[in-house]
Amino acid sequence: MRSTFVVSAFAALALAAPRPQDIEFDLVDAAPDPVVSAAPFTGSSETVTLQPAAAVVTIADASVTDTATTNDKRDFLEVLGKRDGDCSAQPKGTGPTVSTPDDSPSSFYAYQAFQDAATNAATAQGTPQGYSLAFHNLQGSSQTVSYLGYKTLSSYDTIACASYCDQHPQCQAFNIYFERDPTLDPNADSCPNPPSLTNIKCVRWGVQIQAATAVNTGEHRDSFEVVITGSNGYNKNAAPPSQTGFTGPVELGGAINAPNDPVTNTNTYMGYKFFSFSTVQTYAAGVQACTLACTAQTAYNSRHPPSTGKPNVCNQVVVYVLSDENQPQGIYCAMYSEEWASNYATNYGQYRGSDYWSVSQAYAYTNATYSASYGPICAVGGCPDNSFRGGNCGGWGVGTC
C-alpha cells in the first residue's frame, strides 16, 4: 500500500521520505479471527482458565521466524449447546422479582428500581475507584473478546464487581446488569414460559469494553424471554504493567507516526507484529507478547546481521488495541530503532474500505539500556527546550549510520 515514486527526478526525494506507519493489514489478515464471547444465561458463575504465562513467550518467539505463525486458535470457552429444559427449579434469583403490572420483558425493562440502580452507579460516587464509566443503563450485556468469567451478586454493587475484576490479574473491565431468568428450566411441553426471577450478574473482561459491544440482549428459552437491563460497563484506568528490560509504559494518545530521524534523516520504523486476541487472549498478555517480540526481533537481527552496517535494535515498541468498527481484533506492536516522544502519537485510526480501524490503549515501552543513554526524540513544536533531537543511529552512536 506504500506509494512508490516512478519518476526518476523524484527518486532522491522518495528515498528521503520517511517510511509511513499507517496501520498495515497483512499480518492482521493472516491472524486467526478473535473469539467473541458473552456470559452464559444459565448457571450462577463461571471460571475461565487462561493459557499458562509461558505460552506468551512461545507466541512472541513464533512471530519473528521466517515460518508462518501457527494458527493456534484456542477456543478457551466452554460452548453451551442449546437443549430443551426439564422444568427443574433454577437457583433462586439474587434481585427483586418483577411481576407488576405483569411478569413480562416489558415490565422488567420498565422496573424503576433497576433504572435507579444503574443510574446511581453511573455517577462519580457510584464509580469504583480506579475505574471509569464506559456505558450505563443499556439493555444488553458485553459480547466481545477476552471473556474472563462471571458471578452473580446479591445486590447491584459496583464495588463488589470491581473487586471481582481486581482478583484477576488480567482483568481490564467489568459489566454489571440485571437479567430476567426463568424459575424453572423451560420445557416446550410442560413449562414453556415459567415465572421469572432476577439475577444480578457481574462479568469480567481482559479488554476494555464499550457501548458498541454491549449487544447481548438476551435469548428465547422456549417461550420464556431472557432479557437484560440496567447494564453498566466500567474500564480500569491503570496502565499495563511494566516489562522486564524496558522502561515505560508511556501513555500515548494514538499510534506513533514518526518521521525520519531529524538529524541523520534515516528511517527508524522496523515494521510490526500483530497478535489476535484468539492467540494472546487478553490485553495484558498481548502487551507482554509485544515486548517479548521486540526483544526476540533484536536477537534475530543480531544473528542475521546486514552485510554492511549494524543490525537494527528494537529500542521502542508501541503497543495498542486494534479494533475494526469498535470490535477489538488484537494487539498491534510497532517497532522502532529509536525512541519517539508522545508528540508523534498522531495516528488514531484509519479507514479500510468502509470500515474504521481504531487505535486504543496505546503505550510505548523503551529498551532500558537505550533509555539510560538517550531521551525520546522530540523535534516538533511543543517539545521541551532540552529535548533529544536524534542522531544516535539507532543507539549505535553518532556517525555509525
Q: Which residues bind ligand NAG (CB under 6 A)?
A: 245-246, 294-295, 298, 313, 367, 369, 395
Question: Which of 184, 294 has the CB closer to ligand NAG?
Answer: 294
Which residue blocks in 304-390 are alpha helix, DSSP H? 368-373
128 Cβ contact list (under 8 Å, min separation 6):
158, 159, 161, 162, 234
Question: Which of 247, 281 has the CB closer to ligand NAG?
Answer: 247
Smallest gap from Cβ 349 to ligand NAG, in A, equals 28
Smallest gap from Cβ 31 to ligand NAG, in A, equals 23
- Alpha-carbon gap, residue 293 to 306, rounded angstroms: 20
Question: What single-letter DSSP state applies at residue 125?
Answer: T
Smallest gap from Cβ 43 to ligand NAG, in A, equals 43
Smallest gap from Cβ 259 to ligand NAG, in A, equals 23
Question: Which of 226, 294 has the CB closer to ligand NAG?
Answer: 294
Contact 95, 178 (CB under 8 A): yes
Which string of DSSP letters, residue by residue, matches 260-306? S-TTT----EEEEEEEEHHHH-SHHHHHHHHHHHHHHHHHHHHHS--
Question: Which of 56, 227 has the CB closer to ligand NAG?
Answer: 56
Smallest gap from Cβ 316 to ligand NAG, in A, equals 10
Question: Which of 286, 394 has the CB closer to ligand NAG?
Answer: 394
Question: Which of 198, 371 has the CB closer to ligand NAG?
Answer: 371
- Alpha-carbon gap, residue 160 to 176, rounded angstroms: 10
Question: Which of 153, 296 has the CB closer to ligand NAG?
Answer: 296
- Alpha-carbon gap, residue 352 to 39, rounded angstroms: 31
Question: Which of 69, 243 has the CB closer to ligand NAG?
Answer: 243
Question: Which of 148, 292 has the CB closer to ligand NAG?
Answer: 292
Smallest gap from Cβ 56 to ligand NAG, in A, equals 15
Total residue length of the chain: 401
Contact 132, 162 (CB under 8 A): no
Question: What single-letter DSSP state applies at residue 184?
Answer: B
Question: What single-letter DSSP state applies at residue 340?
Answer: B
How many other CB atoms are there within 10 angstroms of residue 349's CB atom? Answer: 16
Cα dihedral value 196, 200, 205, 209, nearest 10: 90
Among the listed residues 274, 17, 22, 39, the one whose alpha carbon sits nearest the alpha carbon of residue 150: 39
Cis amide leading into 311 (omega within 30): no
Question: What single-letter DSSP state applies at residue 53?
Answer: T
Contact 280, 286 (CB under 8 A): yes
Smallest gap from Cβ 292 to ligand NAG, in A, equals 9
Smallest gap from Cβ 282 to ligand NAG, in A, equals 21
Smallest gap from Cβ 222 to ligand NAG, in A, equals 57
Smallest gap from Cβ 264 to ligand NAG, in A, equals 18
- Comparing every residue's Cβ against ligand NAG, the nearest one is 245
Question: Which of 233, 248 has the CB closer to ligand NAG?
Answer: 248
Cα dihedral value 103, 106, 107, 109, nearest 10: 130
**In the beta sheet, which residues pair with residue 322?**
330, 359
The amino acid at residue 332 is: Y
Through-space distance between the first and last CA atoms of the chain, rounded to whole angstroms? 27
